Amino acid sequence: MKTEEVFPSRFLKAEQLDHDVTVTIKNVVMEDVYDAQAKEEVRKPVCYFEKATKGVLLNKTNWAALVEAFGDESDNWPGKQCVLTTIEVHAFGDVVQAIRVKKPNGA
């Protein structure tokens, strides 16, 4: 069994991306998510995409990238294309893979 089969998540994880993927934004919604650091449920923005079953939980870095690309009103983002990529980041005392959002080449 794979980890995703044992511990399914409604959010896309960096480990599930093996290459850059161009996606079209369907919508951005606020959802309750458990924050392990805060040890409580918090409201966070989640970006969903056309033809995808999982959304991306948006952190401040990815939110800022989308704002820079498409403006500060997330209600105007549906239909816009962006690229999901992965990078290594330092987090919680370790180096881990993280999803980053960027504009498509030439956009």
Give the tens place of pLDDT for each residue, 58-94: 999 999 999 999 999 999 999 999 999 999 998 878 8
Residue 39 pLDDT = 86
* CA neighbor of 28 nearest in space, from 47, 51, 56: 47
Distance in angstroms (rounded) separating the CA atoms of residues 72 and 86: 23
In a domain, 55, yes or no: yes
| Host domain of residue 20 | 3-102
Q: Are 101 and 86 in contact (CB under 8 A)?
A: no
* Structural domain total, the chain: 1
Confidence category of residue 105, pLDDT binned at 50, 70, 90:
confident
- In eight-state DSSP terms, residue 36 is T
Does 106 have pLDDT greater than 80? no
In a domain, 107, yes or no: no
In a domain, 91, yes or no: yes
